[in-house]
Amino acid sequence: MAFFATPNTSVIIIAAVVAVAIVIGIIADVVSSRRRKKKQAEEQLQTRVEQGVRQKLMEMRNEYLVMARGETYTVGVNGQIAPGKYLLKNSVEGGGNFNLRYNGFAQPYPDGTVLTLGAGDSLCALSASVLIKPCVEEAATAE
């Protein structure tokens, strides 16, 4: 007991315990950070896969995608829309023209407009929601 009674020894023991606690805290933080980053990467990959599958299904079924009013959509690998030729229609029945911000420039487009979208382009429906559909050009049949 005399060994633990000296003031220098007790200070050293307390400092050692505090140092071990700090090291354990740092290790726990690093481990949780790595797990969190791995989980986020898996979620991002899953989201990209799901978006790609949805886009491919839309193209295969030749269906419309609804572009919500006021939401910006990007074209490209990480975007919501794949590059290609698209037919744009107003979601409002008999609405006629609709306003669209295409690459930062807002202007009216007539119903049934065909746009060729490249990687990095951006679209935003301004006046109403817009329906966008992959444009499938059918081969002309010779008669």
The tokens of 36 are what? 């969190």
CA atoms in the 13 A half-sphere facing the CB of 87: 13
pLDDT of residue 73: 87
**CA 141, CA 49: separation in Å to the nearest integer?**
37
Greatest mean pLDDT among 4-8, 42-46, 47-51, 119-123 lies in 119-123
For the stretch 58-113, pLDDT in tens is: 555 567 788 888 889 888 877 778 888 888 888 887 778 889 999 999 999 998 88
Q: Are 70 and 130 in contact (CB under 8 A)?
A: no
